[in-house]
Copies of this chain bind each other. A is one copy, B any other.
Amino acid sequence: MVQQETQSRLSVMNFLSEAALDYPHAISFASGRPAQQFFDLDGWLGEIPRYRDHVVRQQRSNADTVGGLLAQYGRAAGIVNELVAEQIGADHGVPCSGEQVIVMNGCQEALALCLQALCPQPGDVALARNPTYIGATGAADCAGIPLVPIGEDDGDDFPAALARTIGSELAQGRQPRALYLIPEFDNPTGVVLSESDRLATLALCERYRIAILEDNPYGMFRFEGKAPPALAALDEYGVVLHLGTYSKTICPAVRVGFAVVPDTLFGSAAASRALKTELGERRSYVTVNTSQINQAMVGGILLREGGSLQRFIEPSRTFYHRNRDALLSALETHLGPVRDRVTWNRPEGGFFLSLRLPFAFMRDDMLTCASEYGVLTMPMTFFSLDGTQRESVRLSFSNVSQDEIGRGVAAFASYVRQRLQP
């Protein structure tokens, strides 16, 4: 079994599920699930024949043969790679070919296997912002890879904090090999990494030969402003592995994600080929391949949509946008009067907003707030790599109604005002 420290991290997810079960009537800003009113599973399953017919035409085969092959074992790297590459190019401005794509069981598998492949030696470490996505923490823990927080608390900008963290790791004899980032609408904070910070990050990572795992689950859900180019689009060096998923754009149960390996890894085409081979082999020995049924569903949708999911996600993007506005408005109404002590950001997209309190909000506070005020929020410290972030909260607005947002924020504000009383 895993060691004690790991165990406690691993158990956060369980604790959250249980909290949701224990307080079924609490309004929940805890879940980062996509809104399921936009799911059309029956319709999407109906797109599988569209993909099959596409392959029949491509291979000049017949529907029975291709249908049989779809149900068989398939390529470890996937079968809808060209369609995925086209979509990433169209929707994220990341130019790539199907050859660079490895289809995975959601982005989680891509992340877990990239960390394992990039950090094989004792002393190899991965870096991440602090707080960070709990799936990155868990994947690193399971593989025994230290995930080092980038110390941004001293007021430095991100590249300066990154440089300091790299220097400190090297000085202690550890070798940073990978940097995990969600540059667009970070989970859990909702923040966007600026273009200048992206360029500086790329330069640092090239210099120290650190691969960037650019995770982009929320990039298509921008409500306002102009998106900075993706790190992979700015990458001239071959340091970025662009990761993605159809869990938010289509639905989580599709379990289709991907990694895009640069043509030349740190300038070397051979290193890039070796990494692709290794990722393909590692995934062979964890999950064999991503179900071709699920890939065919994604492929059929991508074919129907002409290669871009912009139109497809517009209803959910609009819903998240309105929810973000409702959340900002409710926060202003209920906590505006104490804005000198309670602050929050204005996420330009994505699923999450972060809020800072003048007091610690931990596990027990979360439970009190759920039981006494009927509202579930996520203590930011759950996402912390070092036990900090005790005074922040993540509010997810992706899986609540506007009505719930109004009532939930009012309830949370009551809790906060009570805590603020001297």
Contacts and interface: CB of A to CB of B under 8 A. Distances in A.
Given A13-B281, A293-B41, A293-B293, A36 B2 contact: no
A10 interface: yes
Contact of A108 (B70, B285, B293): B285
Interface residues of A, number: 64
A384 interface: no
Given A1-B278, A41-B70, A287 B33 contact: no
B108 A287 contact: yes
Interface string A19-53: 00000000000000110110101100100110000
Counted per complex, copies of this chain come to 2
Residue from A70, A120, A141, A287 whose CB has the most chain B CB atoms within 10 Å: A287
Nearest to A294: B291
Contact of A142 (B108, B139, B285): B285
B108 A105 contact: no
Is the contact region of chain A dominated by helix, strand, or loop, or is it mixed? Answer: helix
A59 interface: no
Given A120-B2, A287-B106, A282 B73 contact: no
A286 interface: yes
Interface stretch (A180-188, A213-221, A247-255, A327-335): A247-255
Contacts of A281: 10-11, 13-14, 138
Given A1-B120, A2-B278, A291-B294, A286 B71 contact: no
Interface in A67-108: 67-74, 76, 105-106, 108
A112 interface: yes
Interface in A274-326: 274-275, 277-278, 280-282, 284-294, 297
A211 B391 CA distance: 44
Interface of A: 1-3, 10-11, 13-14, 33-34, 36-37, 39, 41-42, 45, 48-49, 67-74, 76, 105-106, 108-109, 112, 116-117, 120, 135, 138-139, 141-142, 247, 251-255, 274-275, 277-278, 280-282, 284-294, 297
30 contacts: A1-B278, A10-B285, A13-B281, A36-B72, A39-B67, A41-B48, A41-B67, A41-B70, A42-B49, A42-B67, A45-B48, A71-B251, A71-B252, A72-B253, A73-B253, A74-B253, A105-B105, A105-B286, A108-B285, A108-B288, A109-B287, A135-B288, A139-B285, A141-B285, A142-B282, A252-B288, A253-B293, A254-B291, A255-B287, A255-B291
